[in-house]
Structure 1
Amino acid sequence: MKRFLIFTGKIILITILISVVLDGIYTAIFMRSKDRGKIETVFNSKAENYDVVILGSSRANNHFIPQMFQDKGLKTFNYGMSAAHLFEASLMLKLMVERKWKIKNVIVEADLNLAIGHRSKPISSKFLPYIHNSTVIRDHFQDEESFNEMYYLPFYRYIKYDSKIGFREAFFTLIHKRTNALENLGFYPLQKNKNGNMKNNIVKLNPLPHNKSYEEIKSICKANNINLIAVMTPMCENVKGMDYFDKVKKAYPEIHNYENAVTDDKYFSSCGHMSDEGAKIFTARILKDFFNK
């Protein structure tokens, strides 16, 4: 029995040591990444100066064309991320402020994601390699499910989210294999898709009366003298439940409603995402309404 306990103890100790070593190696790799994705680019950045920073989900990533802002003399980058929620948008802004970025304007896409109060696990997991190296990230996750395991158990977060920050991603990060995330100043253009889903039903969708992450974004902007432009972006013609946008306007009157700025299906790749051509029309409208002074 004694030999068995000693053997078991050695196995546990070796497992812990391997986990600590692997955790250190993976973290060191991500800590040196600046050219693969938006999150690590912001985390590993030094102080930046921007006239316009764009935040949100794919409906920001696919709808705002930074080059059109740049052509007006406005230094701009689109930090929208497909599948992201406002939880991740808020954390991105916190990191920018922590790194002493100077930002004049933040455009945040706040529409469908106002109905979501939780984090996007696939996207939020990409912040986790830095959880021990950033008070901002640690505090942002502190009330989340499995926080103790992610924070205190070495290598646990890399195993749990292997598809996002596991071996494959660590290897590609190590060899500096680029993605298209940083191309086009962060904008991802979509083409008209003949097979795109041009129907949508948001009848059951309701904005939360108090979306914590959106309120955080407002507070951060106010505290740092950043002009916040919160907008609802367009959807195609054939949508059931379009009164959702009226509900948003009632709950958050400061959010600008542009869901009807572009409606013709020919400008959409899918019902919730405009094509490049539609994005040009929409971006031009935003520039005219907010930056044509």
Structure 2
Amino acid sequence: MRKFLYSLAIVIGSVVVLLYAMDYLFTRVYETAPPRNKFQYILTLKPQTIDYVFLGSSRVANHIDTKEVEQLTGKRAVNLGMEGAHLEDNLLQLKLLLHQGVRMQKLFLQVDYQFEDKGRSPIALSEAMPFIKHPVIKEHLRSTNTPNFEANCYIPFYRYIMAAPKIGFREFCFSAMNKKPKINPGEGFTPKQGNRSFEKYSLPSSISETNTAVEAIKKICKEHQIEVVLFCAPFCSIAENKEYIGKLKTKLPELKDYSTGYNDTLFYDCAHLNQQGALLFTKRLVANEILNEKK
């Protein structure tokens, strides 16, 4: 019996040591490798000025051509939109930008049906997990009651197992080999090509009283003297419940509504413009919210 318990202890001890070693190795690679996603990119930034920062979901990543913004304004812009991101994820991005010493003139925040989302998206949360010990990320996830926070933070390698599709062995290998992503996170614009057949698409039929992440972003920007531009990107003509945007403006009177006025040929699908549409939208947004304001 004593021999069995000794052998069992050896096995358990070896597994624990292996988990700690794997956790250290994965984390070290993600911390030091060239960034392959936008959380990694933000954490590599040094104190600097980025005049125009765009935050949101894929409806920012696919819609805002930062090279066009810079050409039109002569100032620096970055697109930090993330596929599937919720407003809570954008709040964490803003906190990290400020922690890294980034100064900005304007923050453009895309707001639409995500006003109804509470918490973080699984995709964005996974991309932040390698850096859960970072003081800003750790405090944000703890304060917003992230599920399994304690396990992710204190059980070695647990977060890499649970979020394997985004930060597991495959992504670890790409990072270890310094493989560049298809889109440079420092530019962030991921254009869609062509047109897909539109499926039935509907905005929410009801609206929440408030969204705590939006209010927190507005408060932080006020404290740091950053101008906030809330905007809603276009939807195709067959989108149902478009009256939701009107309801949203009653909650956020400052919201800039760009949800209509674009031909369906400019859409990749009902919620995303194609590259041609994105260029047109970028020009209009810059003309209305930056250039016209200077005059």
Query: The residue matched to 2:53 in structure 1 has which SS?
Result: strand
Tell me by how many angstroms 1:107 deviates.
0.5
Structure-2 separation of matches of 1:73 and 1:230:
22
Matches within 5 A, 1:165-244: 165-182=167-184, 185-193=187-195, 195-204=196-205, 206-244=206-244
Indicate if the aligned counterparts of 1:66 and 1:76 stay in contact, CA closer than 8 A. yes
How many angstroms apart in 1 are the aligned matches of 2:6 and 2:44? 44
Matched residue, 2:93: 92
**TM-score for the superposition, normalised by structure 2:** 0.93
Answer with 51-60 or 220-229: which moved more: 220-229
Q: CA deviation at 1:147?
A: 0.4
The answer as to whether partners of 2:38 and 2:185 remain within 8 angstroms in 1 is: no
Q: Distance in 2 between the 1:90 and 1:130 partners?
A: 16
In 2: Cα distance, 1:250 partner to 1:272 partner: 22
Per mean C-alpha deviation after superposition, the further-off stretch among 244-253 and 7-16 is 7-16
Instruction: Give the structure 2 partner of residue 158 of structure 1.
Output: 160
Specify the code of the residue in structure 2 equivalent to 1:55.
Answer: L
- Structure 2: segments with no counterpart, 5+ residues: none
| Equivalent position of 1:281 in the other structure | 280
Give the percent of matched residue pairs that are identical in Structure 1 and Structure 2. Answer: 30
Equivalent in the alignment of 1:147: 149
Within a 5 Å distance, the mapping from 1:25-36 to structure 2 comes to: 25-36=25-36
Structure 1, residues 119-145: CA drift from partner, whole Å, max 9, x if none?
Answer: 11122111111111x111001111111
1:38–1:181 Cα contact (<8 Å) kept: no
Partner of 1:122: 123
Q: Report if the CA contact (8 A) 1:56-1:84 is conserved.
A: yes
In 2, distance between residues paired with 1:203 and 1:55?
21
The answer to whether 1:272 aligns with 2:274 is no
Deviations along 1:154-187, whole A, 9 cap, x unmatched?
1100111111111111110011111123168211
TM-score (norm 1): 0.94
Q: What is the SS of the residue equivalent to 1:239? A: coil
Alignment correspondent of 1:291: 290
Q: Which moved more, 1:139-148 or 1:5-14?
A: 5-14
Show CA shifts across 1:219-253 (max 9, x none).
22111111111101110001110111011111121
Q: Deviations over 1:76-131 (max 9, x none)?
A: 01110111111211111111100010111110111121110121112211111111
Matched residue SS, 1:97: helix
What runs of 5+ residues in structure 1 fail to find an aligned partner? none
Report Cα offsets for 1:10-56 as digits up to 9, x if no partner.
Answer: 22211111111111111100111234222101112211311101110
Is the CA contact 2:41–2:185 (under 8 Å) kept in the aligned structure 1? Answer: no
User: Relative to 1, partners in 2 of residues 1:141 and 1:183: Cα closer, same or farther, differing over 3 Å?
Assistant: closer
Q: 1:182 to 1:224 in 2, by over 3 A?
A: same
Instruction: Give the Cα–Cα distance (whole angstroms) in 1 for the partners of residues 186 and 62 of structure 2.
Output: 11
Q: CA RMSD in A?
A: 1.5
User: Any conservation in 2 of the 1:190–1:275 contact (CA below 8 Å)?
Assistant: yes
2:170 maps to a residue whose letter is R
Distance 1:210 1:191, change over 3 A: same
Which amino acid in 2 is paired with 1:270? D
1:249 maps to amino acid: K
Tell me if the contact between 1:85 and 1:116 (Cα under 8 Å) persists in the aligned partners.
Answer: yes
CA distance change for structure 1 residues 184 and 146 in 2, over 3 Å: closer, same or farther? Answer: closer
Name the SS of the counterpart of 2:262 in structure 1.
coil
Deviation, 1:192, is 2.2
TM-superposed CA distance for 1:62, in Å, is 1.1
Structure 2 CA distance for aligned equivalents of residues 208 and 140 of structure 1:
23
> Which amino acid in the other structure matches residue 287 of structure 1?
V
The offset of 1:198, in angstroms, is 5.0
Counterpart residue identity of residue 105, structure 1: K
CA contact (8 A) 1:117 1:208 kept: no
Determine the C-alpha separation between the residues in 2 that align with 1:176 and 1:116.
Answer: 34
Are the equivalent residues in 1 in contact too, given 2:64–2:278 (CA < 8 A)?
yes
Contact 2:113 2:204 in 1 (8 A): no
